[in-house]
Amino acid sequence: MTLRLAALFALLIPFQAVAGHEFDGRDLLQGETLYQENCASCHGVKLEGQPNWRSQNDDGILPAPPHDASGHTWHHDNQLLFSYTASGGEEALAERGITNFKSGMPGFKSTLSAEEIWDILAYIRSTWPASIQEIQSARNPPHN
């Protein structure tokens, strides 16, 4: 991993109280179906991602990462995961002040409702071991 990517990931990992409330009560079966229909073509049927996902392509864009426990999805807070899915990678990162990062992730806000995006994200999270779910939950602000 390049120093630039390591710095990017460090910026995206907030240290906050434990919370995972956006994932509570979600329709995991619908989330899995929507994942297969909208995400699996890039991120893999089994959430395995594309080969060499840590190495930029010739165009400077990273291949789609895995969403299973081997990837870095769980390193991010719920709101970034939602924004990344809804708005696309570059727009979501720009909202957090990161403007020099090329992303191949398109936005799905014109294709999927907010509830559908949350169902997909909850499905992805449900595949992680409990220990990783706890780590990821700690990256979110507490529910008010």
Q: Evaluate whether residue 19 is within a structural domain.
A: no
Q: Evaluate whether residue 129 is within a structural domain.
A: yes
Q: Evaluate whether residue 59 is within a structural domain.
A: yes
Q: Which two tokens stand for residue 141?
A: 């602000």
pTM for this model (two decimals): 0.84
Q: Evaluate whether residue 5 is within a structural domain.
A: no
Tens of each residue's pLDDT in the chain, 144 residues: 454 544 444 444 443 334 457 888 999 999 999 999 999 999 999 999 999 999 999 999 999 999 999 999 999 999 999 999 999 999 999 998 999 889 999 999 999 999 999 999 999 999 999 999 999 999 988 865
CB atoms within 10 A of CB 103: 17
Q: Which domain holds residue 41?
A: 30-137
Q: Say which residues have a Cβ less than 8 Å from residue 116's Cβ, sequence separation at least 6.
A: 30, 34
**What pLDDT, on a 0 to 100 scale, did the predictor assign at position 70?**
96
Q: Say which residues have a Cβ less than 8 Å from residue 25's Cβ, sequence separation at least 6.
A: none
Q: Considering its fold, how many domains does the chain have in total?
A: 1
Give the Cα separation of 25 and 73 in Å (integer): 20
Q: Evaluate whether residue 22 is within a structural domain.
A: no
Q: Evaluate whether residue 92 is within a structural domain.
A: yes
Contact, 105 vs 64, CB < 8 A? yes
Q: Which CATH number belongs to the domain containing residue 118 in this structure?
A: 1.10.760.10
Q: Evaluate whether residue 23 is within a structural domain.
A: no
